[in-house]
A and B are shown apart, each in its own frame.
Chain A
């Protein structure tokens, strides 16, 4: 049990995907203009990452390893994740229009961005089993969501504050992200104590 907790804490705080590992930076900058959009994006990412971890684990263990074609990992994962996410999008669209309105427009956006593929590949590298992979994917997504929502809130406040003209827009956003990254580096070494 404490193993799972360790994975969770380590992916959310210590090895945060965005601020420490530099994965998923484009949705981090792109969809953090508005808090609502950031929340929708967070939900969709959590969903996709957990699903992608499971799907890629199954493909890797039951198809790629028995056939000894592990070098196809990247392309096979992209294929599987994109297909699974598309399939889920269709099912959600049909069964729950409400949920589709919240997640719908974000799902195709994040099928295999670098965070999604990164989680799948890191799972294989670390040798997690199915459940551990899903915990890892979920933790990565929660970490991503937390940072994204915090960052979106910060940007909304920065928008109405008196920023020097040369820093307006992207520069101040990048500087803010950098300072957040410094803050998250403060968690380094936390997982050794657990």
Chain B
């Protein structure tokens, strides 16, 4: 009985000692900036920043690959703290714009006819010519915001598209357990993506 207790105690103490020493000897030095950033993040590991977790996001920030405003759980406080730590400007929290469809509208009173927005438009949705008033073909506009920065007089606004019977879309169901047809459709899409 005593043998067993002593043997196991010595064994455990021995391995404990080795592991303790190993953790000191084989300590991997990580980037201290990453550690500091990681400490400021909420550690919810929600992956809403599109990274695999808080630590990968911290690494991306440290490398300068990611902006500091991608963390919804952290909110304004985290952005503020990160901005203080990294000495960069406070950015606005990134809103989820994907839900809202917008279209560009030119305030024709203020347009000076400089054609800069026409050059910027990737889908040729802006009509007009030099020294003449421009206008946007609403049906062609994809709402990409690319015409906003070049405009010297800031006369372009992004206006949400009203939902009308002609552009209303069926909401995709969130839960597909009871909808075999929909599940099959999704599988077909997966197969097509692979092909």
Binding site for B on A (CB under 8 A): 59, 63-64, 67-69, 71-72, 75-76, 79-80, 83, 86-87, 90-91, 93-94, 159-162, 165, 168
Contacts and interface: CB of A to CB of B under 8 A. Distances in A.
A165 B4 contact: no
B138 interface: no
A51 to B, nearest CB: 14
Contacts of B7: 63-64, 67, 69, 72
B187 A160 contact: yes
The 8 A-B pairs with the shortest beta carbon distances in the complex, nearest first, are: A83-B15, A94-B26, A90-B26, A69-B4, A90-B22, A165-B180, A67-B7, A93-B28
Interface string B162-192: 0000000000000001101001100100110
B3 interface: yes
Interface string B18-43: 11001100111000000000000000
B3 A69 contact: yes
Contact of B18 (A63, A83, A161): A83
Interface residues of B, number: 23
Contacts of B194: 160
A79 B11 contact: yes
Nearest to B6: A67
Q: Is the interface of A mostly helix, strand, loop or mixed?
A: helix
A160 B22 contact: no
B190 A72 contact: no
A93 B3 contact: no
21 contacts: A59-B11, A63-B7, A67-B7, A69-B4, A69-B7, A72-B8, A75-B8, A76-B11, A79-B15, A80-B11, A83-B18, A86-B19, A90-B19, A91-B22, A93-B26, A93-B28, A94-B26, A161-B187, A162-B184, A162-B187, A165-B178
A16 to B, nearest CB: 31
Given A90-B22, A161-B187, 12 more contacts: A63-B7, A67-B7, A68-B3, A71-B4, A72-B4, A79-B11, A83-B19, A87-B19, A93-B26, A94-B26, A94-B27, A162-B184
A159 B194 CA distance: 13
Q: Is the interface of B mostly helix, strand, loop or mixed?
A: helix
Contact of A160 (B26, B177, B180, B191): B191
Nearest to A71: B4
B187 A87 contact: no
Nearest to B178: A165
Contact of A79 (B3, B12, B22, B26): B12
A80 B4 CA distance: 15
A140 B7 CA distance: 30
A157 to B, nearest CB: 11
Contacts of B11: 59, 63, 76, 79-80
A91 B21 CA distance: 12
Nearest to A70: B4
A160 B190 contact: yes
Nearest to B27: A94
Nearest to B1: A69
Contacts of A168: 183
B28 A165 contact: no
Nearest to A66: B7
Contacts of B180: 165
Contacts of B28: 93-94
A64 B187 CA distance: 56
Contacts of A162: 184, 187
